[in-house]
Structure 1
Amino acid sequence: MNSFHLTATGHNINYLPQYIADRHGFFREQGLDATFSIPQPWDLVLDELADGSADMALGGIWVPTMYHTRVKNYTVFAQIANRCPLALIKRGSRDGFKVADIAGKTVLMKSGGGASVGLFFKMFLRENSIDPRSVDYIQDLDGLMLGDLFQGGMGDYFVTDILSARAMADQNPNVSVAMEMVEQGDVPWSVYYRETETITPELLDKERRFCTALAKGIDWVLQHDAESFQDELAELFPNVPVHVAVAVTNTFRHNGMWTSPLVPRGGFDRWQVGLVDARLVKEPLSYETLINDGPVLAALDV
């Protein structure tokens, strides 16, 4: 049995297949004694990679992108989330809502877990021919604080994770979920990476086995309606009503949140354009610059 430590930027429902792989023993089947940590603040995942306490980090691909050649190079091996897990909440009913309605309004966006929320939402506006500069943002506050402020009357819209959004709408009849970003196309939202210079054949082999277990976790979730494992969801996400966790899981199952550990080229290229527009990089990076899909392809026997 080989030790394998993963450091992650958070505990999120879009990471569910990884949790299932751990709970159901899929990592151990691959000879991996997998352990996990969620350091605070989130960017300490980079320190855990640097000091060797972690074999791999889980987080947004925007970090390896903006660090490339500037600070340190990281190589991405796999993904867990193939879609954006955010939602847009509005006041009143969602009936008649159009994306164009957002222009000229004030949008609250949670932060604290990195820049992904703002990066994706502004990219989404640009893709829908809305100038992000036509919108006012309040985004330098904690998500729970912004949620309370939004319900108290601040702003016109609130962008947060879909689990929190549905829970809020479930408990507050005065707000509704206007749209869910999981329906808005592929993007490698959450990926696994490590420092390029530290990669060894031994680590590549462990990453292959990790990807084999992860793929099995993804397949398991896709094959089981969330109602059938709602007890596990309740244990994993105790602060959310279980019927909300079940509904979100099934929404993700049916809308491409989980497909394969392989990072898709189309989603990668789309996200790179968004990161260029956000000024994180001057030009889009090529797939091969950041991605080593060898461990996943070996795991999938492709």
Structure 2
Amino acid sequence: MKKWLKISFSLCLIAILIIPLAACNKEEVTKVRIAEVTRSIFYAPQYVAIEKGFFEEEGLDVELTTTWGGDKTMTALVSDGADVALVGSETSIYVYAQGTSDPVINFAQLTQTDGTFLVARNKIDNFSWDQLKGSTFLGQRKGGMPQMVGEYVLKQHGIDPQNDLNLIQNVDFGNIPSAFASGTGDFVQLFEPTASVFEKEGVGHIVASFGTESGKVPYTTFMAKESFMKDNEETVEKFTRAIYKAQQWVQENSTEEIAKVVQPYFEDTELDIIEMVVDRYKSQGSFADNPILDKEEWENLQNIMDEAGELPKRVDHGTLVNTSIAENVMK
């Protein structure tokens, strides 16, 4: 009986010690609200960070919201509707040029190339860029990164988008695929998985990658307001560490494994298509293998914007990019 009492007392004592500890651990969890510009397989490492528990390992509880558009994403961020935004780095330049007192800082890069592909209506065995001359080209919305990169690549191949093509840019982003499927355009600039789905269904044929042609550029980056980063230094570092873990995991694992992990975010897309898209992005180096946004990429971004006539002002790398956090987590 005495032995049983001792055991019971010990168990009670353990419970008394554990319960407050569990409560403390729960209190240490920090919520971070992410606004992503769109839902895309292009952002696979972000979904890996969530599904593999890398954010949770850092004591972060992330709430992911898709805001559907760069302007809406930045509005959510600057109005404190989100803590962190995943969006194109050009948006931070637009906000800065408007004279904000609390600039948006890029602190962790997720993708490092354009994510669109050139899709031809008819199958072309030996594609060359000059075959676009005189064609009807269904392009992306004017002022957005896809359109700017698209025109930049065309010019690199000696094509004047305004004079050598019948260029269509008045179709809303969400309606571009259906417009092409219904017969508009000889060529179209599309994101995945639409490009691969069209190819599988025979609607079109992928003939080139704008990401490969344009080189490295900070296409989508995690960013936050400067005030948030100053007030939450530890949280931002933990966030960046989780992303870096995911980036490493993506580099080290097969496309099949990556596709299975991110599949819950794309329930309407068949697994074989997800695998195909992941493989295409991974093989062309679209997924950044670390969170550092370097000066060369930043300058390439501004050159592309300038070429398109959309750069409001040139901004030094150190003004809107913080690499010290990424560098610390990589040590």
Normalised by the length of structure 1, the TM-score is 0.91
Aligned to 1:220: 249
Distance in 2, matches of 1:74 and 1:48, equals: 12
Distance in 1, matches of 2:113 and 2:273, equals: 19
Q: How many Å apart are 1:124 and its aligned residue? A: 1.2
* 8 Å CA contact 2:106, 2:223 repeated in 1: yes
Amino acid corresponding to residue 204 of structure 1 in structure 2: E
* 8 Å CA contact 1:162, 1:180 repeated in 2: no
Rate the CA distance shift 1:86–1:204 in 2: closer, same or farther, 3 A: same
Aligned to 1:127: 156
Partner residue of 2:286 out of 257, 275, 281:
257
**Aligned pairs, number:** 298
Aligned to 1:162: 192
Partner residue of 1:15 out of 39, 43, 47:
43
Aligned to 2:3: none
Q: How many Å apart are 1:143 and its aligned residue? A: 4.4
Q: How many Å apart are 1:195 and its aligned residue? A: 2.5
Query: Match of 2:267, SS?
Result: coil
Partner residue of 1:290 out of 308, 320, 329:
320
Q: How many Å apart are 1:178 and its aligned residue? A: 1.0
Query: Match of 1:133, SS?
Result: coil
Please state if 1:210 is matched with 2:239: yes
Query: Match of 1:170, SS?
Result: helix
Please state if 1:179 is matched with 2:208: yes
Rate the CA distance shift 1:111–1:238 in 2: closer, same or farther, 3 A: farther
* 8 Å CA contact 1:233, 1:246 repeated in 2: no
Partner residue of 1:151 out of 181, 199, 211:
181
Distance in 1, matches of 2:155 and 2:314, equals: 16
Amino acid corresponding to residue 132 of structure 2 in structure 1: I
Query: Match of 1:97, SS?
Result: coil
* 8 Å CA contact 2:37, 2:70 repeated in 1: yes
Distance in 2, matches of 1:187 and 1:229, equals: 23
Query: Match of 1:47, SS?
Result: helix
Please state if 1:101 is matched with 2:131: yes
Q: How many Å apart are 1:200 and its aligned residue? A: 4.5
Larger radius of gyration: 2
Query: Match of 1:68, SS?
Result: helix
Aligned to 2:92: 64
User: What do the CA deviations read for 1:231-275 (whole angstroms, capped 9, x no partner)?
Assistant: 334322222222121012122222211221111322221111011
Distance in 2, matches of 1:77 and 1:231, equals: 28
Aligned to 2:110: 80
Aligned to 1:4: 32
Distance in 2, matches of 1:3 and 1:157, equals: 44
Which protein is richer in helix relative to its size? 2
User: What do the CA deviations read for 1:158-193 (whole angstroms, capped 9, x no partner)?
Assistant: 111032101111012x52111122322211110112
Please state if 1:191 is matched with 2:237: no
Distance in 2, matches of 1:145 and 1:200, equals: 37
Q: RMSD over aligned Cα, in angstroms?
A: 2.1
Give identity over the alignment, percent.
Answer: 20
Rate the CA distance shift 1:41–1:83 in 2: closer, same or farther, 3 A: closer
* 8 Å CA contact 1:273, 1:284 repeated in 2: no
Query: Match of 1:43, SS?
Result: helix
Please state if 1:116 is matched with 2:149: no
Distance in 2, matches of 1:77 and 1:104, equals: 42
Distance in 2, matches of 1:41 and 1:266, equals: 26
* 8 Å CA contact 1:66, 1:280 repeated in 2: no
Q: How many Å apart are 1:71 and its aligned residue? A: 4.2
Rate the CA distance shift 1:67–1:104 in 2: closer, same or farther, 3 A: farther
Please state if 1:279 is matched with 2:313: no
Q: How many Å apart are 1:299 and its aligned residue? A: 1.3
Please state if 1:248 is matched with 2:257: no
User: What do the CA deviations read for 1:29-66 (whole angstroms, capped 9, x no partner)?
Assistant: 11111111112555222232233232111101111112
Rate the CA distance shift 1:76–1:137 in 2: closer, same or farther, 3 A: same
* Bigger mean CA deviation after superposition, 251-260 or 139-148: 139-148
* 8 Å CA contact 2:74, 2:91 repeated in 1: no
Please state if 1:54 is matched with 2:77: no
Rate the CA distance shift 1:56–1:90 in 2: closer, same or farther, 3 A: same
Rate the CA distance shift 1:45–1:91 in 2: closer, same or farther, 3 A: closer
* 8 Å CA contact 1:55, 1:194 repeated in 2: yes
